[in-house]
Copies of this chain bind each other. A is one copy, B any other.
Amino acid sequence: MSNILTSLEDSSFSCSCAKEMINGGIHGHLNDCSARNLKTSANVKGPKKDPLPKDEEDFLKAVFQVILEDGIRKGRDITQKVVDFHQPDELKTLLDLEIRDAPEDHQGLIKHMKDTVKYSVRTSHPRFFNQLFSGQNSYALAGQWLTETLNTSQYTFEVAPVFTIMENVVLHKMRDIVGYTGGDGIFCPGGSISNLYALNVARYRYMPDIKKTGLFGLPRLVVFTSKQSHYSIKKAASVLGIGTNNVVLVNCDERGKMITSDLEAQILRVKAEGAVPFFVNCTAGTTVLGAYDPLEEVANVCEKHGLWMHVDAAWGGGVMMSPKYRASRVRGVERSDSITWNPHKMMGAGQQCSAFLLKHENLLQHCHEAKAKYLFQQDKFYDVSYDTGDKSMQCGRKVDVFKLWLMWKAKGNQGFHQDMDAIFDKTRYLVEKVKAREGFKLVLDEPECSNVCFWYIPPSLRGKEDEADYKDKLHQVAPKIKERMVLSGTMLVGYQPLGNKPNFFRQVFSSPTVTEEDLDFLVDEIERLGEDL
């Protein structure tokens, strides 16, 4: 029996022809290897079976062609539509979604894949300005394909040796960029969950007994966040049993930034009511206006009142890597206790990639650990501090780090510095363009992030600002233009109201490859689609 093992060890990974595989053809290689495998694997009965049969390999190659041509090349092609829109009921008839008893053949499956691409929105298109993610990075994509292929879970070094130590390296680097010394972190399935982590560990720090005894019988815990912050804070408070009524919405100034004096007034009010403030969420890049809360000022208030300071930088966190714009946007971020930062947004890493970082050590572990003996055995033969899964509120956890790491390797720090500068520079270009254009009106004269919010005022409404129904009419313009835009498929831009402001467009991009021509097109196209309204 020991002979078998020796021969196995000899054959594993030692195939010298592997090195030639990338540039050369694979068939000759396979034949060589198969022969050697037959010799060395005495434990395998019968004739050697190719672990990847030819028809399966051919299928995967055909899939790769669909991905390369339909998914990537056409997906980024400016001459293609961003979306080929059909109403839901019509789309159901165009796609064959039903699952049947019998299997389908490879040809049919490839057709399904092509249809899926055809009717999906091309988020990598240069004119997709609709969401807080856009563009497509080949390195991140390559990293994610490999991650999927390796299909492991991030919980233990035992099954994810490379990815557990890689996660430590990347999270450490991200904390360095924030300005934390030491600390901890974890990748989460999205920014909302990262914000949920922030609330949960902060609560644990102030009242660790809650983990065991719950909130019953305790005085109200209260969370503070700005009126323009993301709804995930409220959702998290509801999940955590704190309740949305115990999320105090702090007023914002005209630029959408939290008013620190109001924050402090609300804290004092809540204390006077006998409730217990414990958590302040600041936003670095609000969802609609892209506002950065005044972090230094908030840090002063949090220090004074002993509150946890969290920064939701899910969207605007990329600016921490911009030499040109960082200081004016996030000064004081290093004074926070924790931060949510989504590289799948401004850094283009692909969904999902959201880091929750904190400056405190051991807190994640103590807050979440359940010490399951079937997974986190303490009698393993390696240093089990590398088994980081018990820090999580999940069990199995998808590997989200590799795509970011590979992309970062490909760009270097320099690349991200340039990208972030470029995104903010191009925003300035669009701002100036919209300012100068007749019929366009900025919501903010000087937006801070790559959100550029504006109204398009069709000729029929210009000069009628004082009429009673002006706001109502203007409110209907953006949805109507959006409808035409989607049906044309030429681009995608979002719109929404805000407070008492009627619907306006929110142009947003997170891809450094967006050009001035794309931004010119955006403005021209909105005018074309809406000038008769």
Question: Is A265 part of the binding interface, using a Cβ–Cβ cutoff of 8 Å?
Answer: no
For the complex, count residues of A whose C-beta is within 8 A of B: 203
Instruction: List the B side residues contacting A79 at CB < 8 Å.
Output: 8, 11-12, 37, 40-41, 44
Choose among B87, B103, B234, B414 the residue that contacts A370 (Cβ–Cβ < 8 A): B234
Cα separation A409 to B486 with both chains bound (whole Å): 30
Q: Are A103 and B377 in contact (CB under 8 A)?
A: no
Question: Is A182 part of the binding interface, using a Cβ–Cβ cutoff of 8 Å?
Answer: no
Q: Are B161 and A121 in contact (CB under 8 A)?
A: yes
Q: Are A119 and B162 in contact (CB under 8 A)?
A: yes
Choose among B136, B189, B246 the residue that contacts A193 (Cβ–Cβ < 8 A): B189
Question: Is A304 part of the binding interface, using a Cβ–Cβ cutoff of 8 Å?
Answer: no
Supposing A13-B84, A350-B148 touch, asked if A104 and B142 sit within 8 A by C-beta, the answer is no
Question: Is A305 part of the binding interface, using a Cβ–Cβ cutoff of 8 Å?
Answer: no
CB distance from A388 to the nearest CB of B (A): 11
Interface residues of A in 67-99 (CB under 8 A from B): 67-81, 83-88, 91-92, 95, 97-99
Stretch at the interface among A208-216, A324-332, A466-474: A208-216
Supposing A101-B412, A101-B413 touch, asked if A372 and B88 sit within 8 A by C-beta, the answer is no
Residue-by-residue, is A43-75 near B (CB-CB < 8 Å gives 1, otherwise 0)?
111000011100011011111111111111111
How many copies of the chain does the oligomer comprise?
2
Q: Are A241 and B215 in contact (CB under 8 A)?
A: yes
Question: Is A533 part of the binding interface, using a Cβ–Cβ cutoff of 8 Å?
Answer: no
Q: Are B146 and A117 in contact (CB under 8 A)?
A: yes
Instruction: List the B side residues contacting A118 at CB < 8 Å.
Output: 13
Q: Are B402 and A116 in contact (CB under 8 A)?
A: yes
Q: List 19 A-B contacts (CB under 8 A).
A: A9-B81, A12-B79, A12-B81, A21-B65, A50-B73, A51-B72, A103-B410, A116-B150, A120-B163, A123-B159, A131-B159, A151-B351, A190-B396, A192-B395, A215-B215, A235-B393, A236-B393, A380-B479, A380-B483
